[in-house]
Chains A and B, each alone.
Chain A
Amino acid sequence: MHKARTLQDLILTLQAYWARQGCVILQPYDVEMGAGTFHPATTLRALGPRPWRAAYVQPSRRPSDGRYGENPNRLQHYYQFQVILKPAPKDVLDLYLGSVREIGLDLAVHDIRFVEDDWESPTLGAWGLGWEVWCDGMEITQFTYFQQVGGFDCDPVSAEITYGLERLAMYVQDVEFVYDLAYNDRFRYGEVFHQSEREFSTYNFEKSDSEMLFRHFADAEKECKALVAANLALPAYDQCIKASHCFNLLDARGVISVTERAAYIGRVRALAKACCETWLASPMGEYAPRYG
């Protein structure tokens, strides 16, 4: 069995596999976000009746998880491989196991388990039921059947599959320090990202300008509301993600008190809700070919 020897192989293998399942292979969204779920291809497309299948790599920014490049597996920037299948096909778990085989994990010698783990995002007003998938005791995937997004029922229900790529690669490559991963045959992960982790940790924890970030938060919130009023779901949603990222940066900086925290999350959720509502009232991606 071919093993995905490098991180890059892993990405290419997953991409090719899910492309064969009819997924649109998207490129990362160009706004900072905390998880692949925030990508409009998941959040918004999970709503409404239209079928959808997409797969993409999404950089996830978690400012508080930065460890200045010292921790073996915590990163403030890492990659998620995200798959969304709508409606969730009946054999979706078999399809998923197919992807695990594809990246070189021989199911005859490994122990795969589906352990209850329900997913909830207070900032998106979203939740679903599912599992974390364990391979030999290691969580390699988060699997969720979306039930609600932005407070709206998902109908039909989508299946969301999220692979933590570095973690999975560390497992496949048998590496214990993330920076030692082979990105490809020529470069280590550390060569690509170590400096960036160090610098961004300093920025996130020490140097970010809180006043500016508060301002950006308020601006994004204001812009989002204005765009919702203009029935522009997608541009409004961009502002919602931006507000969310500003909040994460402020949180990492330690300038948001415990009480304020809940209030900020509530404000982002209100934006997400409004965007979802606007999306549901829009054509939701409908398109009739112009020339037949």
Chain B
Amino acid sequence: MPELLLELFSEEIPARMQAQAAKDLERLVVGSLSDRGLLFDGIKTFSGPRRLTLVIAGLPAQQKDVEEERKGPRIGAPEKAIEGFLRSAGVTLDQCAKENDGKGQYYVARIKRVGRPTADVLAEILPETLAKLPWPKSMRWPGSPVRWVRPLHAVVCALDGEVVPFTFAGVESGRTTYGHRILSKGEIEVRRYEDYAKKLHDAHVVLSAGERRGIILNDMKQKAFALGLDWIDDQGLLDEVSGLAEWPVVLFGKIDDAFMDVPGEILQTAMRTHQKYFSLKPAESANERSALSNRFAFVSNMIAADGGAEIVAGNERVLRARLSDAKFFWDQDRKRRLESRVADLKKSIFHAKAGTMHDRAYRVALLAMMLADLLGCDIVKAERAGLLAKADLASGIVGEFPELQGVMGYFFARNDGEDDDVSLAVRDHYKPLGPGDSAPETPISIAVALADKIDSLVTLWRAGEKPTGSKDPFALRRAGLGIIRIILENKLRLALAIPLRAVMVISQAHAERSWDERLSGALSSRTLLKGIADDLAATAGKSDGATQGDLEVVADVLDFLADRLKVALRDKGARHDLIDAVFSLGGEDDLVRLVARVDALQAFLKTEDGANLLVGYRRAVNIVKAEEKKDKTTYEGEPDPKLLQAPEEIALFKEMAEARELIAAELAHERFTEAMTVMARLRGPVDAFFDKVTVNVPDAKLRQNRLLLLSRLRASLHAVADFSKIEG
């Protein structure tokens, strides 16, 4: 069975785009092939700095012949209809058969399509398929009618060793490729994957990103081990450098002694972000923060004639220049207290409609206090940490290395003798930074981290920056997910509407006073906290203009958070329909409670009683709906006990009345599993009702009463979740 080898050889592809491009290439080619009925045995893709490669094994030599039967108009149908049918089917009238479906005779076209050679199909579909590859950023260049990530230089496309001829991006396909930019000379002729992989390896190209990654990690660990060192785990950097070399060679350099008294985090960040170097630690050290070795590892793309001496010397020199900048800032910055930089934040705008970073620092301080109060931790520490949280943004070192925000604040705060909880909260308030990062766990850090995210979410939302489609320039989705994770992972019981609303009250209340006055007022009398609470209570039902707008923002942000929560739960494997069933009840801003309800529902439906009750529920709802439609009315309300006749309906009525009270009581105590156990008891009476009782009886009153009884079943279950959203 034929094998397809496809390689797209270009100028250097950004490392961050390579892996996804290989996946997209596979998806698109597989899609096009299967659209044309071409199935195969196996597929492999590779990506690297200068090439994307795809290999497909076991393609048929040609498409299967297909016969399609198409039903046409009736015999005697208007001429135009028949003509149109013949044209679309590509047959003549005498090629059509006549068939009878019992209602009359009609034309049938039997269209036979002869399968084409696979090579011809590939030549046709590949150019258009490749043009669809969605690069995050692509460019034009002379001679190419399509965009690609960087100029394309060669396309290898061979089916069983023979060229599949086509033109893409101004390049004609062939069997010629090229090796390593420096370590290889001239053209390489290839026919199949086997000789392709071998010849490229000889030309100093490791095709597979996984293999390059393995080589780097292995080399680095071996060399480090020999020095009594170990690498500091950095998978992201490892992925990146695997995409920057076709022939990775690990080299080691030395950090100049002059820099070894600078905090390890600074050295590590300077090395990582600007130079893509790996940091190393003593092999026996378990703690990553404790010690940084004075050696570093880096990956070159070269087997140097001098064994790498020049390359190492060059890299060490570059690092010295980088670190002298970092050391200069570190020494300068420590001459001032972190606190004194809060005022400097006036110079940086957070958002044109949401004030300066200085405003933000005070808002976060006040909100952190309030959250600390709600969560029962030290409000004075929360205030202090909130106020200092952003101050390091005004330092020289964070200006140079923005990714050190928080970490530097921690060092400065500790250096200034701030409380440990405060220093740690300054460092950790950005957490969680992404899916791989943990949420803060200590009370003050939690309060400040929540305050930070809630403030940016609400103020930016109000400023009209809500995320739309792929646009989310202020990363509000990440902020939302951060809020959710902090709450759920720490099981915080918090009615979220309160802090959301508080952001706006904090911005507006006593705006005539200075921030310092407002803050000290809040600290000394706590009137501000009380004020917010009063304000929230007072405006709960009001609808004057400004308040109305604020309340709408709160409702919108809550909806947004509910959506993020749905995504988060779905990612963790919760069924989306159950999430919908609970969410559509609405009016819930306690995330812990929401999730408990989803969990209980999921467990309940896995039981036999649960599954059967769902069947009974559906039957009840379908009957009520059908009759409502027929009668053009709605059946909602209490059935009349006096009209109950059959023992099964009397039993159901009784059981439901009892269950309703019990369910309400369990729900009031947030015992969702127990509430569902109560519901499970209805299964028997429901099944019995449907076995024995006819709903649609001639007696109109009796029929109506039975429909009302069924509608009550719906109402009872909806106290727990909207069962109509449940699928399967």
Spell out A's residues near B (CB within 8 Å).
72-73, 87-88, 90, 93, 97, 106-116, 118, 128-129, 131, 135-138, 145, 147, 153, 155-157, 171, 174, 176, 257-259
Q: Is the CB of A107 within 8 A of B139?
A: no
Q: Tell me if A176 and B320 are in contact (CB < 8 A).
A: yes
B667-716 CB contacts (< 8 Å) to partner A: none
A109 near B305 with CB under 8 A, answer yes
Q: Is the CB of A136 within 8 A of B314?
A: yes
Query: Which residues of chain B are near A147, meaning CB under 8 Å?
Result: 139-140
Assuming A112-B182, A115-B244, A116-B16, is B141 touching A136 (CB within 8 A)?
no
The docked-state distance in angstroms from the alpha carbon of A156 to that of B15 is 27
- B14 pairs with A72, CB closer than 8 A: no
Given A116-B15, A176-B317, answer yes or no on A109-B311 (Cβ-Cβ < 8 Å): yes
Closest Cβ of chain B to A85, distance in Å, is 10
Q: Are A108 and B304 in contact (CB under 8 A)?
A: yes
B305 touches which of A108, A157, A174 (Cβ 8 Å):
A108
Residues from chain A with Cβ under 8 Å of B310 in the complex: 109-110, 136
B527 CB to nearest A CB, Å? 33
Partner of B140, one of A116, A155, A259: A155
> CA of A171 to CA of B315 in the docked complex: distance in angstroms?
11
Report A126 CB to chain B, min CB distance, Å: 14
Closest to B153 in A: A90
Binds A, one of B190-198, B346-354, B586-594: B346-354
* Cβ-defined partner of A137 (8 Å) among B143, B182, B305, B314: B314
Residues of B in contact with A (beta carbons under 8 Å apart):
11-12, 14-16, 49, 137-143, 149-151, 153, 181-182, 244-245, 275, 277, 298, 300-302, 304-306, 309-311, 313-315, 317-321, 324, 347-349, 352
- Chain A nearest CB, measured from B540 CB (Å): 36
The CA of A128 and the CA of B138, in the complex, are separated in Å by 10
CB proximity of A236 to chain B, nearest CB, Å: 27
- Bound-state CA distance A114–B10 (Å) is 12
Set of chain B residues within 8 Å of A108, measured between Cβ atoms: 182, 304-305
- Assess the A136–B16 pair: CB atoms within 8 A: no
Give the A-B contact count at a CB cut-off of 8 A: 103
Q: Are A114 and B314 in contact (CB under 8 A)?
A: no
B16 adjacent to A157 (CB under 8 Å):
no
Report yes or no: A136 in contact with B137, Cβ–Cβ below 8 A: no
Could you tell me if A135 and B314 are in contact, using CB atoms closer than 8 angstroms?
A: yes
**B150: nearest chain-A partner, CB-CB:** A129
The residue of chain A having its C-beta at the shortest distance from the C-beta of B245 within the complex is A113
Q: Which residues of A contact B318 (CB under 8 A)?
A: 136-138
CB pair A109 B304 closer than 8 Å: yes
Tell me, in angstroms, the Cα distance from A113 to B314 when the chains sit together.
Answer: 14
The answer to whether A137 and B304 touch (CB under 8 A), given A88-B141, A129-B139, A147-B140, is no
Smallest CB separation, B292 vs chain A (Å): 19
B175 to chain A, nearest CB (A): 20
Tell me which residues across on chain B come within 8 A of A72, comparing CB atoms.
Answer: 321, 324
Collect the chain A residues with CB atoms within 8 Å of residue B321's CB: 72-73, 176
List, in ascending order, chain A residues with CB within 8 A of B348's CB.
258
The smallest beta-carbon distance between A266 and chain B, in angstroms, is 13
Contact with A111, one of B14, B153, B301 (Cβ below 8 angstroms): B301
In contact, B304 and A157 (Cβ under 8 angstroms): no
CA distance A129 to B348 in the complex (A): 30
Give every chain B residue within 8 A of A116 (Cβ-Cβ).
Answer: 12, 14-16
Establish whether residues B15 and A145, one from each chain, have CB atoms under 8 Å apart when the complex forms. Answer: no
B302 touching A110, Cβ below 8 Å: yes
A157: which of B15, B49, B141, B277 is its contact (CB, 8 Å)? B141
- Min CB distance B8 to A, Å, is 16
- A157/B139 in contact, CB under 8 A: yes
**Do A88 and B142 touch across chains, with their CB atoms under 8 A apart?**
yes
Give which listed residue, B139, B142, B314, contacts A110 with CB less than 8 A: B314
Q: A116-B15, A116-B16, A131-B12 are in contact. Are A157 and B142 (CB under 8 A)?
A: yes
Q: Which residues of A contact B315 (CB under 8 A)?
A: 136-138
Contact B140 A137 (CB under 8 A): no
A109, A131, A137, A147 pick with most chain B CB within 10 angstroms: A137
Q: Chain A's nearest CB lies how many Å from the CB of B50?
A: 9
Inter-chain contact A171/B314, CB cutoff 8 Å: yes
Can you list 8 A-B contacts (CB < 8 A)? A109-B305, A109-B306, A111-B302, A112-B301, A114-B49, A129-B138, A137-B298, A153-B140
Nearest Cβ distance between residue B117 and chain A, in whole angstroms? 33
Shortest Cβ distance from residue A51 to the other chain B in the assembled complex, whole angstroms: 10
What residues of A have a CB within 8 angstroms of the CB of B277 in the complex? 137
Q: Which of B12, B142, B181, B311 contacts A136 (CB 8 A)?
A: B311
> Looking across the interface, which residue of chain A has its beta carbon closest to that of B49?
A114
Residues in B whose Cβ lies below 8 Å from that of A135: 314
Smallest Cβ-Cβ distance to B138: which chain A residue: A129
Q: Which residues of chain B come closer than 8 Å to A259, judged between CB atoms?
A: 349, 352
Whole-angstrom distance between the Cβ of B49 and the nearest chain A Cβ: 8
- Chain B residue nearest to A74 in the complex (CB): B325
Q: How far is the CA of A157 from the CA of B148 in the complex (A)?
A: 13
Q: Are B311 and A110 in contact (CB under 8 A)?
A: yes
Residues of A within 8 A of B142 (CB): 87-88, 90, 156-157
